[in-house]
Amino acid sequence: MSPKQSSSLVQTTLFVFGLSVLSLLFGCTTDDGRPDYAEYDIETLQSLMQQGDLNSRQLTQFYLDRIDAIDRNGPKLNSIIEVNPQAIEIATALDAERQESGPRGPMHGIPVVLKANIDTADSMETTAGSLAMKGHRPPTDAFIVERLRAAGAVILAKANLSEWANFRSTGSSSGWSSIGGQTKNPYGTMRNPCGSSSGSAVSVAASLTSVAVGTETNGSIVCPSSVNGIVGIKPTLGLVSRSGIIPIAHSQDTAGPMGRTVKDAAILLDAMVGPDPADPLADNYPEALPGFAGVLSRESLRGKRIGVLRNHRGAGNDARVDQIVADTISTLTALGAEIVDPVEIDMEGMGDASREVLYYEFKADLNDYLEASGAPMKTLAEIIAFNESHAETVMPFFGQERMLEAQQKGPLSDPEYVAALSTSKRIAQTGINLALREHMLDALIAPTRGPAWMTDDVNGDHSSGISSSSLAAVSGYASITLPAGDVLGLPIGISFIGAEFSDAKIIQFAYALEQAGYGRKPPLAKP
């Protein structure tokens, strides 16, 4: 490592350490003198609760107060659609249980926000942000919600999202829904939070919750995590159950954790995974996989071979992002990793084939969900008709081109669908597998996304085009993003992309990088 690289690493580490010190000095109490838990991680919160210096009821109320002060008022981030009216009651019961028999595990009493396309059998609605789904209260929890409740989590709220997980229009503004309106980025409220898990990311970034759950079909966890300066994990397809989640496409959909630190996200992932007989992929969950939070080490990058993906979408569009990648490479080298640069993967035809798959599967999967869950709408055709008859409130800015395209598709037995599915999976999976094997790599890295763009109701999303999510999304393989730097205060994430069920490995890599100074810089939004 050169003296310049060493100096840069030291400066970065000292800067993040300085932020931590300032947080301890000035972030320990709120303006009215109450304790401020905004930047506390799960381990610290559990330690305080074990010592009797904090309980889940107090923590839950702290987040509810921040939601009122920051999300509903103040900068009005608009990340939360609905607060769970039973949250305090649940937290109080978990406090009593802790006193009587001890905590169930690391998630005991920890508040969690869920994306509003995840079923909960309580008083909250599951709407995917759509007025067409207003009033939908599923009869059962999604499997991952059952797991979270069993782990002792407090289901705090439902988060806003890009309506229908951003599968309604080709001209949409990410983070907008007809129920929730426009979610704002806490690093600049005129800037976009990306999507579709917009509210989940913003609620974590603005410390309105400890952790949150998002869902992804292609970039919907990692993009909002990147532009909101947090950690997001897109698990291997089948690691996390898909049952009880409003779908886009079963061949790419997955839920995943979002947190302010790698370990927080890993703790949440541990609570979410498990075999689910209702999901054919998750029913084959590999029980031999280690726990994700218990295997983290600062030394996990030493001797590992990391490839730098250079032909991702938008590569070279922003020299400032390129510099963040270069600095990250220097840090990885300092941590003992061997860098292979460049790595290029042939993705020709993958996007077009995947797009066809999504149209076919959206129609089939959504119709199945609507019928099984007792939703107010029974088919995609009914939703399209509702949107047209309520266009002033549902479609004031953009239309439903994706839904109309999906509605024209036939059954999943159509040769066009079968061929597209085979093509998209072959290109993505073969591309990653060959790159890892030929270069003897443990993982790939790439910038997750460029800086957040200005929210634009007229023209829709118009980012720099930098994105590396598609390979992991289409292949169904694992990826994780963590904060790596910023462009004029706007966060930039770096992604590790790995093989199938390499989730534990790339989480370890992200943790080691985080411990070298790649922690987040909190936004300035305050009550």
Say which amino acid occupies 296: L
Find the length of the chain.
527
Asked if 178 and 130 touch (Cβ cutoff 8 Å), the reply is yes
Tokens of 134: 């207003």
Secondary structure of 357-392 in the HEC alphabet?
HHHHHHHHHHHHHHHHHCCCCCCHHHHHHHHHHCHH
Which is catalytic among the residues 169, 172, 220, 467? 220
Whether 177 is catalytic:
no
Q: How many angstroms separate the CA atoms of 281 and 427, rounded?
A: 21
- Measure CA 498 to chain center: 17
**177: helix, strand or coil:** strand
Distance CA 346, CA 463 (A): 23
* Catalytic residue (one of 162, 196, 197, 243): 196
- For strands 154-159 and 80-83, give the pairing: antiparallel
Active-site residue flag, 243? no
Label residues 67-91 b or e (16+ Cβ within 10 Å = b): bebbbeeebebbbbbbbbeebeebb
DSSP state of 455: P
- Catalytic one of 56, 115, 225, 463: 115
Per-residue buried b or exposed e for 276-310, using 16+ beta carbons within 10 Å of the residue's own CB? beebebbeebeeeeeebbeebeeebbeebebbbbe
Residue 357: half-sphere exposure toward Cβ, Cα within 13 Å: 24
Partners of 497 in the beta sheet? Answer: 444, 479
Please give the structure tokens belonging to residue 79.
Answer: 């990340």
Q: What CA–CA distance (Å, rounded) separates 199 from 227?
A: 12
Of the candidates 172, 159, 195, 166, the residue with the CA atom closest to the CA atom of residue 467 = 195
Give the containing element (helix H, strand E) for 481: strand 479-487
Is residue 115 flagged as an active site residue?
A: yes
H/E stretch holding 202 reads: helix 198-205
Integer Cα distance of 87 and 94 in angstroms: 11
CB atoms within 10 A of CB 338: 16
As a whole number of angstroms, the distance between CA 169 and CA 183 comes to 17
Active-site annotation, residues:
115, 196, 220
